[in-house]
Structure 1
Amino acid sequence: MNKRLLGVIDATTYHEDLSDLTSHRSVAAIPFGGRYRLIDFVLSNMVNSGIQSVAIFPKYQYRSLMDHLGSGRNWDLNRKRDGLFFFPSPSLDKPVTGIGSLDHFAANIDFFNRSTQEYALITNAYTVFNMDFNPLLEWHVHTGCDITEVRKNGATLGIYLVKTSLLMELIETRKETGYLSMRDVVTDINSPYKLCYYNYEGYATMIDTVETYYAESMNLLKPEIWEQLFLKERPILTKVKDEPPTRYSKSASVQNSMIANGADIEGTVENSIIARGVKIAKGAVVKNSIIMQKSRIGEDCILDHAILDKDVRIEAGAIITGTKNSPNILRKGSVQGEWLNS
């Protein structure tokens, strides 16, 4: 087990373009891939890298996130020593200044004072990837860097590695230096610290717009992408729900789709992602769409390039269409009748 790394997940970020999916949840808790949440990827990466202490710092709409994570049992983080910690922001009026808010950390400085890990890994909660952080730590130590920023093709992934003692120094001196976040530190050309860049060569994408959310969700249907994200040796963990297998009736037709457990499929599904407990009635056609948990699609409906949030009900005969660049989004719990077109 890696006892040198402390996991710190910044879950404060709000993306305006994702507002249709975050009216009742944080970005970190957005469903992805039928049975996961966005935070599952970085949290699983930490656990798979042997990190035993992870602190999550949320700000907005975090009830859903807390419900999803619980005690951390599904990630083996419900421990007597270390484990999973949750530190909501004490102030909602201050704007988010970048990944790794030093003010937010300062409000919970006792956590860092008690930590025994030599290094801190600070990340965002909305990057979809599968990464072993141990080579990063070894590279950081070998090169003698003060701060390492993880990048993909020259662009930041919002992941920073730093000595815990230096992180605490940055927290304590933030008013003198003017650094409000880790992003401020690494973008200051006059920074006194040795900054290094670690290039991550695997698949990684940041979900910050509806367009990227839809496109990257559809990418999961490509075997070459799926095989880079979901590895047997480094599984992506999530909240376990005991539900029966999906039921497919004789009238069902499914092609190139991901169907989670507990669904009931009687209609046609093509190039789509169907979450747990979804029901698709006979004669309904769902194409190029993302259907979230426990939504109901009535008989003879047509859905194409649509995103249905949780508990949406589509009445019989309705037509819901969008486009690749502008999918039609229906918010949680909404009910739609006949002939609603985008």
Structure 2
Amino acid sequence: MKKQLLGVIDAATYHEDLQELLPHRPVAALPFAGRYRLIDFVLSSMVNSGISSVAVFPMSGYRSLMDHLGSGKNWDLNRKRDGLFLFPASPSEADKESGIGCYSHYAENLDFFYRSSQKYTLISNSFTVINTDFTSLLEKHIECGCDLTEVYKNGRALDIYLLETSLLIDLIESRAETGYTCIKDVFEDMSSPYTVCRYEYEGYAKRVETIQGYYKTSMELLDARVWNTLFKRSQPIFTKVKDEPPSRYYAESTVKRSLIANGCQLKGKVENSIISRGVTIDNGSIIRNSVIMQKCQIGENCVLDGVILDKDVTVESGTVLIGNPTNPIVIRKGSYVENAKLPANSLMIL
């Protein structure tokens, strides 16, 4: 049954409330949990569900996403048959507003769906943190005789859909007559001729759509129960492999309730935080309740609490940045924070 599923990941959505973390990357490529990107979770769930053909539909600014996904080797998708496909939108399409499962974007690559041998298509957004086997969704879809099924969590739609590939092709080709611009339109049309179903997902699933949501979901990973639910030995989350040495913990360092990726140099104090690859934290510095992305450099005697540092940020010695869970301070990629002053392109959520 697993071989009946075709995977489609819609990576074209732009979130205004995440703009401070997205000026140089799509939301699919947003770093998460120290060593992953958001797309890794849905993509790994598809691979662990036996899906061997996955199409990713990004909009613009997708260079970082292409660099991350590569040939799909890390997800065992570098295949002679099927595998990983990337279908960027054309310049004319990139300017349009579109929802998850935009038919006009798919129409530009309709041959892909015609050539696919899988009977069913699973369509998902790229920003839901989830680890699941979609086989149970397919079984329920078939058992209930559904034309289209939408996945929900606690009564909220996750923007994950299942339907027959032939029906998807029909919806794409008839969009001018029906007025449906994306798959969500079918569910919102009360007079739709199709049998639509809701599938309530009981596992852990969080949509990351705002700065506050990104921060909150990141902090939830520090709860061992959440971590063990999301990161399972039987269903690993795959990501781009980077060969870096183990992190070095100096004698003066202390680390409590935190996630530390590899390649770090830690001389300060870290509490309740997520530290990504290649981060340096110097003597006397205190990092609490923060998300520090790849290759940030934090000088001596700094205090960072309730802070999100994007990649390659340098924080000068003696700097104090204090945010809070509802108002985290966000520092953009490559910024230099000098003498406790926020750079001009930083953001404190108010």
Deviation for aligned residue 1:142: 1.0
Structure 2: gaps of 5 or more residues = 343-347
Deviation for aligned residue 1:92: 4.7
| Aligned partners of 1:17 and 1:209 also within 8 Å | yes
Q: Which residue of 2 aligns with 1:170?
A: 171
Partner deviation per Cα, 1:253-290 (whole Å, 9 max, x = no partner): 10000000011100000000000000000111111000
Q: What amino acid maps onto 1:20 in structure 2?
A: E
Q: Which residue of 1 aligns with 2:22?
A: 22
Deviation for aligned residue 1:97: 2.4
Three-state SS of the structure 2 residue aligned to 1:111 is helix
Deviation for aligned residue 1:247: 0.1
Deviation for aligned residue 1:20: 0.4
Q: Which residue of 2 aligns with 1:10?
A: 10
Q: What amino acid maps onto 2:292 in structure 1?
A: I
| Aligned partners of 1:7 and 1:122 also within 8 Å | yes
Structure 2 Cα separation of the partners of residues 13 and 183 of structure 1: 14
Partner deviation per Cα, 1:6-36 (whole Å, 9 max, x = no partner): 0000000000010000000000000000000
Structure 2 Cα separation of the partners of residues 104 and 239 of structure 1: 27
| Aligned partners of 1:60 and 1:92 also within 8 Å | no
For residues 199-218 of structure 1, the aligned pairs below 5 Å read 199-218=200-219
Deviation for aligned residue 1:154: 1.3
Deviation for aligned residue 1:224: 1.1
Q: Which residue of 2 aligns with 1:81?
A: 81
Structure 1 Cα separation of the partners of residues 245 and 97 of structure 2: 41
Partner deviation per Cα, 1:146-194 (whole Å, 9 max, x = no partner): 0000111111000000000000000000011010101111111111100
Q: Which residue of 1 aligns with 2:293?
A: 292
Deviation for aligned residue 1:93: 4.8
For residues 1-342 of structure 1, the aligned pairs below 5 Å read 2-90=2-90, 91-340=92-341
Structure 2 Cα separation of the partners of residues 97 and 185 of structure 1: 14
| Aligned partners of 1:98 and 1:184 also within 8 Å | no
Deviation for aligned residue 1:338: 1.2
Structure 2 Cα separation of the partners of residues 52 and 292 of structure 1: 31
Structure 1 Cα separation of the partners of residues 211 and 107 of structure 2: 33
| Aligned partners of 1:12 and 1:96 also within 8 Å | no
Q: Which residue of 1 aligns with 2:345?
A: none
Structure 2 Cα separation of the partners of residues 151 and 80 of structure 1: 35
| Aligned partners of 1:99 and 1:182 also within 8 Å | yes
Three-state SS of the structure 2 residue aligned to 1:3 is helix
Structure 1 Cα separation of the partners of residues 271 and 10 of structure 2: 36
Three-state SS of the structure 1 residue aligned to 2:3 is coil
- Per mean C-alpha deviation after superposition, the further-off stretch among 179-188 and 44-53 is 179-188
Q: What amino acid maps onto 1:216 in structure 2?
A: T
Partner deviation per Cα, 1:196-219 (whole Å, 9 max, x = no partner): 001100010000000010000000
Q: What amino acid maps onto 1:55 in structure 2?
A: A
Structure 2 Cα separation of the partners of residues 199 and 57 of structure 1: 26
Deviation for aligned residue 1:145: 0.3
Deviation for aligned residue 1:65: 0.5
Three-state SS of the structure 2 residue aligned to 1:225 is helix
Q: What amino acid maps onto 2:218 in structure 1?
A: S
Structure 2 Cα separation of the partners of residues 198 and 323 of structure 1: 35
| Aligned partners of 2:55 and 2:87 also within 8 Å | yes
| Aligned partners of 2:151 and 2:200 also within 8 Å | yes
Deviation for aligned residue 1:53: 0.1
Deviation for aligned residue 1:96: 3.0
Change beyond 3 A, Cα 1:67–1:93 = closer
Three-state SS of the structure 2 residue aligned to 1:339 is coil
Q: What amino acid maps onto 1:190 in structure 2?
A: S
Three-state SS of the structure 1 residue aligned to 2:169 is helix
Q: What amino acid maps onto 1:160 in structure 2?
A: Y
**What TM-score results when the alignment is normalised by the length of structure 1?**
0.98
- Per mean C-alpha deviation after superposition, the further-off stretch among 92-101 and 18-27 is 92-101
Aligned length: 342
Q: How much identity, in percent, do the aligned residues show?
A: 58
Deviation for aligned residue 1:324: 1.0
Structure 1: gaps of 5 or more residues = none
Structure 2 Cα separation of the partners of residues 284 and 96 of structure 1: 44
Three-state SS of the structure 2 residue aligned to 1:61 is coil
Deviation for aligned residue 1:60: 2.4
Partner deviation per Cα, 1:43-74 (whole Å, 9 max, x = no partner): 00000000000000000221000000000000
Q: What amino acid maps onto 2:252 in structure 1?
A: S
Structure 1 Cα separation of the partners of residues 81 and 217 of structure 2: 37
- Per mean C-alpha deviation after superposition, the further-off stretch among 210-219 and 95-104 is 95-104
